[in-house]
């Protein structure tokens, strides 16, 4: 019996080594494709997040375009950002001393104030410089 047990153990060990070699070969052969698959999945997830952020940015920009199509919004922006004054409105300027002063002649167009437009003054000065005025 001891000889039969040794043969059985030797055969089992040989089979175990062969089985272990096959398992190692499978793991090694599948490791690179699995690594590539996981890397591609990470890239897909990153690109999906970038796509979602880009779509949100597009929606924000579309909202801004809709606002810029609204004449009331444009008028409000011109008044606040550029400090434009509508005809008939009174403009107050606060100087360094903290005193508010009304700016004369700001509510009406230049033609009503008797002023000449800047480009007409430029053309007049060019004509004078040319000697034709």
Report pLDDT digits (tens) over 41-99: 999 999 999 999 999 999 999 999 999 999 999 989 888 888 788 888 877 777 777 66
Distance (Å, whole) CA 101 – CA 86: 18
- Mapped onto helix, strand or coil, the DSSP state of residue 95 is coil
The answer on pLDDT for 116 being more than 70 is yes
Contacts of 92 (CB under 8 A, 6+ apart): 100, 101, 102, 103
Q: Domain locations in the chain?
A: 2-84
The answer on pLDDT for 123 being more than 60 is yes
| Averaged pLDDT for residues 19-39 | 92
> Using alpha carbons only, how large is the chain's radius of gyration in Å?
42
């Amino acid at each position: 019996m001891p000889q039969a047990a040794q043969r059985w153990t030797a055969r089992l060990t040989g089979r175990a080594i062969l089985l272990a070699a096959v398992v190692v070969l499978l793991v090694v052969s599948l490791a690179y494709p699995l690594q590539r698959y996981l890397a591609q999945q990470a890239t897909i997830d990153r690109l999906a997040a970038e796509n979602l952020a880009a779509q949100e940015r597009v929606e924000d920009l579309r909202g801004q375009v809709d606002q810029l199509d609204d004449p009331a919004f444009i008028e409000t922006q011109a008044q606040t950002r550029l400090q434009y004054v509508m005809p008939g409105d009174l403009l107050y300027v606060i100087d360094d001393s903290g005193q508010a002063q009304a700016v004369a002649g700001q509510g009406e167009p230049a033609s009503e104030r008797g002023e000449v437009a800047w480009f007409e003054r430029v053309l007049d000065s060019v004509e004078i410089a040319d000697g034709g005025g």
